[in-house]
Structure 1
């Protein structure tokens, strides 16, 4: 068994593509994803905030103050002349204007006589254009001035104004700490990335170990060698599991390392506080929970690889398998799904939930017994099936 393992590891090390998916991808993926998301979203928001919006207005004579404010902000708004009979929606869809503001005749009337005023803002709100927010800032300023004038007319004091505007204020007293808050927000995405990287790390060597051996014609040589069939299977299984385990270890280390770099090197306070709250034990438990999951991946991948007639066919089977990994992780991200009850026994979902709880700092460590128990039991059953599968001549020589 160890001779087979040694042989497969040597071939694995020679394969640069496999090494990339085992080592380079986990190390580079976390900063790449975080950096790309921050860069793209930051640029998109900045562009939307700084873009000069083309606008048209009807009924400007009824709101000279608002009209003058729009014209004065030349670096934010640009006036476009239109006819009152034009189709506003067509103008916006044709990108001739970004928005059309329609002002009613009663806009400048006394607040007590006219009551609440409603302006119509026509815009395409399907994209990140921030049109509503930017126009609303100007409207809010005018509304606050009118509000103040009305209160002064009525002789209402500042204290009475607050009471009238907000008779009851519900103050939120959050008992969750920062770690739990941020863990709830990002904890569900960590297992998603980690599981896929572990699967990728195991997938490429498994394709070569089974289907690749068939294509090269070296499988027959192994089968006639004086090695028990189950030892041959276990040697190949350990190679795939080793590749997945290395990916899991590097992924966890990468997550911890880049968290420290972001918190210290970039001086991001909340990241520093969040990362310092996650102990080394939590990272070790994440890695240990991934080992039986990696064994499940390795068993299934080896069965598919030895069943496939070619490397390409094996890749097709394994690519389709990704959906069965994503779905249990997505279940773990749904509201109301937690480690309470039967979810602690559901494979993959239970580990994803446990990783999320470890990141949040709310882990019930007694649940680890059921998590490890169920995952190890399934992994053992799949390894046994893998040995049985490898003993079927109709599978080996399709």
Structure 2
């Protein structure tokens, strides 16, 4: 029967349209949950950073008028007397302990380096921030003292500064934006492909087997191969739609994030991507959706019940996240060539290149060739499982 796969596809899709829980899991949750999570994380990070910069309590051990004046004049720094400074640091009562050496004044008079130390707790974010603030203030004081010594010796400050090292930013704004988004965008899109396909694959295979409707479908005048094709297209389509919805939600969130959080630094944009760049990403995601859809359908056919299939498919979330984390610390120009041949890693690597603006034509061909191969393998595995009556018929 010609066009049987299309009949199955329409039948499955109509059932999905009328199934609220599927749309909630595949469309509404990504549309609402992703922006909320992104805004919540951004708001918490901004609040934590702001709080860490305020009320920087410091315990001072030893005495030197100039050091005390410098710390007291530093914004948000408060010198707090403590009987047990190190104990107060460990308990979180102070964020740093500044210890002035016993020979501090004598060393200064002898024009030798004067000893001063800053104790802090790197495991405490607030203490770590306090260390940076106090260290910066004391370094500025040290430079001021050095300039005074040179003035007494009639030596110019430039005379002891043989090098004037300047940093030049060689990247453009688009590369900065792409580098910042190079982790969150691939992670969000790959996870969306998995979460969009999972409930559909579970219901359309294990769910129908449990309800007994799969056996009835296979008795219809439609070849089993076309039944599988229709189901595969349904799962892949919902996976792809979920990725698109998540992308739209992410773009909208990034656009309005500065207004919502009140932080103008949280400004990201994907406007630098061309139509060709978007096409490459969507094309790679298309084959990734087919691969995930095929594998999930096959594994779902191994389950006897809907809940059992959910258990089997849950590890796919971890499987999808690991490759993204594997490329997290890699620059788009440092990705090993073999990554473009490996499943999921290849799509993640391509997205990083596209976002950074260094797309390589050879890498694109490698990604699409390997993606097609993996998608075909996944479909063949599922097709082989689908032909086994013991895995399809209930009981």
Tell me if both proteins adopt one fold, taking TM over 0.5 as the criterion.
Answer: yes
Q: 1:279 to 1:28 in 2, by over 3 A?
A: farther
The separation in 2 between residues aligned to 1:5 and 1:122, in whole angstroms, is 66
Pairing partner for 1:232 from 214, 227, 232: 227
Return the TM-score normalized by structure 1: 0.86
Whole-Å separation in 1 of the counterparts to 2:320 and 2:23: 22
Q: Which residue of 2 aligns with 1:215?
A: 210
Match of 2:124 in 1: 127
Give the superposition deviation at 1:114. Answer: 4.9
Structure 1 residues 271 and 72: alpha-carbon distance in aligned structure 2, compared to 1, 3 A threshold: closer
1:308 is displaced (CA, Å) by 0.6
Deviation at 1:202, TM superposition (A): 0.6
Q: Distance in 2 between matches of 1:385 and 1:284?
A: 28
Q: Shift in Å at residue 101 of structure 1?
A: 2.5
Whole-Å separation in 2 of the counterparts to 1:184 and 1:75: 33
Q: Are residue 305 (structure 1) and residue 314 (structure 2) matched? A: no
Looking at structure 2, the residues matched to 268 and 363 of structure 1 have their Cα atoms a distance apart, in angstroms, of 30
Query: Deviation at 1:348?
Result: 1.5
Q: Is the 8 A contact 2:12 2:231 kept in 1?
A: yes
The question of whether the paired residues in 1 share the 8 Å contact of 2:9 and 2:230 is answered with: yes
Cα RMSD (Å)? 2.9
Distance of aligned partners of 1:101 and 1:263 in 2 relative to their CA distance in 1, 3 Å threshold: closer
- Give the structure-2-normalised TM-score: 0.87
> Which residue in 2 is equivalent to 1:21?
25
- Cα distance 1:346–1:154, how it changes in 2: closer, same or farther (>3 A)? same
Aligned-partner Cα distance in 2 for 1:262–1:17: 29
Structure 2: give runs of 5+ residues left out of the alignment. Answer: none
1:202 correspondence with 2:206 = no
Aligned partner of residue 233 in structure 1, secondary structure: helix
Match of 2:182 among 183, 187, 194: 187
Q: 1:347 to 1:96 in 2, by over 3 A?
A: closer
For 1:77, what is the secondary structure of its paired residue? strand
SS in 1 for 2:103: helix
Deviations 1:61-82 (A, max 9, x none): xx02223455577963152241
| Contact 1:260–1:275 (8 Å) recurs in 2 | no
Structure 2 CA distance for aligned equivalents of residues 206 and 5 of structure 1: 13
* Residue 78 to residue 184, structure 1, CA distance change in 2 (3 Å): same
Partner of 2:369: 373
- Contact 1:111 1:150 survives alignment (8 Å): no
What secondary structure sits across from 2:118 in the alignment?
strand
Q: Does 1:280 align with 2:262?
A: no
- Check conservation: 1:27, 1:251, Cα contact below 8 A: yes
Change (3 A) 1:270 1:68: closer
Q: Give the match for residue 322 of structure 2.
A: 327
1:140 aligns with 2:139: yes
8 Å Cα contact 1:66/1:138 also seen in 2: no
Instruction: Tell me if the contact between 1:252 and 1:283 (Cα under 8 Å) persists in the aligned partners.
Output: no
Contact 2:118 2:135 in 1 (8 A): no
Cα deviation, residue 206, structure 1: 0.9
The gaps in structure 1 that reach 5 residues or longer are none
123-132 vs 15-24, which moves further? 15-24
Aligned length: 386
2: CA distance between counterparts of 1:66 and 1:248?
Answer: 57
Query: Counterpart of 1:101 in 2: which secondary structure?
Result: strand
- What is the distance in 1 between the residues matched to 2:335 and 2:145? 54
The residue that corresponds to 1:56 in the other structure is: 59
Report the equivalent of 1:66.
67
The superposition leaves residues 350-369 of structure 1 with CA deviations (integer Å, 9 ceiling, x where unpaired) of 11111111111111234322
